[in-house]
Amino acid sequence: MTDDVLARVRARRRWALWVALVANAVLLAAEVGFGLGFHSLTLIADAVHLLTDVFGLGIALVALGLTARPPTARLSYGLHRVETLAAQTNAYLLLGVSIWIVVAAASRLVKPVNVSGEGLLVVASAGLAVNLGSALLLGRQAGRNLNMRGAWLHLAADAAGSVGAMVAGACILVFGTRRADPAIAIGIALLVSWTAWRLLRDSFHVLLEGTPAGVDAVGIEEALRTFGGVRGVHHVHVWSIASDVPALSAHVVLAREDASIHETQEDSDRIKTMLADRFGITHSTLEVECHEHSGSEHAL
């Protein structure tokens, strides 16, 4: 991905995040007010979750700006990993909110309180519209970016929470079941915990420099071994600088032992072009050699 294309992608992502942030901030204020007015734990729980959404979207915006900064002498890769740290922060926020919801809902299961089913249904329907619209907007721009995916997961979980709140409101209206509100709130908490776990798992995978999702490390090594003019390959490593910026390093043994520096450079450039075209890896570092490697190879 060229710098111009990357700049345009970041601009679209920034715009999507701002729209989602403003829409969710307005919805947050509405849910807090109506949740207190209707005595609904489901709405309050969703409002607290929305608070983390607003905070998380803000983090995602900051992270997006930081990743655009150029590398420095101290940070040779720039601040690309900030988006992974932002995704982790979002995940921890989600886990904290889910614990709070379960504790509060458990007490209400024992001592139910009166909740306005009609009000809950109306507010939850409006929340569903906002969350679905925001999630759709971010989903179109997310790609493999973990930071954007974290923000999208927040909104997708909120959309599911709004559906749950609608169900709770309908149960109260039709059956007069006051425990439906805290029961649905616990279901929302479990959903939130699941999304948080997936986000934590994926962000730790990036920080541990695991092979990026969707990248075939074995296939890459085989492509290098069978590439014209290559006699051997070893010490192949594939990782992510950021969640959507894969990188590779490898030692490549050329078939021509008497190749000039210019010819070696040409071979290296051809290999890098193949990696970019076939595997989408534009950040590759190759150690070109003219003799077979005698030591043990690192595992992929």
Axis crossing angle, helix 261-279 with helix 217-225, rounded to the nearest 10: 140
**Which residue's structure tokens are 């493999």?**
144
Q: Are 191 and 161 in contact (CB under 8 A)?
A: yes
SS3 76: coil
49 or 188, which is more confident: 188
Residues 103-155: tens digit of each pLDDT: 888 888 888 878 778 888 888 888 888 888 887 877 776 665 666 666 777 67
Residues 170-217: tens digit of each pLDDT: 888 888 888 888 888 888 788 778 878 888 888 888 888 889 877 889
Backbone angles phi, psi at 281, to 5 degrees: -100, 105
Pure H helices in the chain:
3-38, 41-67, 82-110, 117-142, 146-175, 180-207, 217-225, 261-279
Would you state the structure tokens that stand for residue 216, as one six-digit string? 């075939």
Structural fold of domain 217-289: Alpha-Beta Plaits (3.30.70)
Centre a 10 Å sphere on the Cβ of residue 36 and count the other Cβ atoms it contains: 12
79 or 296, which is more confident: 79
DSSP state of 255: S
Q: Is there a shared CATH topology between the 3-207 domain and the 217-289 domain? A: no
Percentage with pLDDT > 90 across the chain: 12
What is the reported pLDDT for 85? 82
With a cut of 80, say whether residue 280 has pLDDT above it.
yes
- Of 260, 107, 291, 280, residue with least CA distance to 183: 107
- Position 296 confidence tier, pLDDT thresholds 50, 70, 90: very low
Least confidently predicted of 2-6, 11-15, 203-207, 279-283 = 2-6
Least confidently predicted of 20-34, 36-50, 252-266 = 36-50
What is the reported pLDDT for 9? 67
What is the reported pLDDT for 218? 92
Mean pLDDT of the chain: 80
Domain boundaries, the chain: 3-207, 217-289
Would you state the structure tokens that stand for residue 246, as one six-digit string? 């894969």
Would you state the structure tokens that stand for residue 67, as one six-digit string? 């990743």
Residues 229-259: tens digit of each pLDDT: 888 899 999 998 876 678 999 999 988 878 7
With a cut of 80, say whether residue 41 has pLDDT above it.
no
Rounded to whole angstroms, the Cα distance separating 142 from 244 reads 10
**Under CATH, to which class is 3-207 assigned?**
mainly alpha
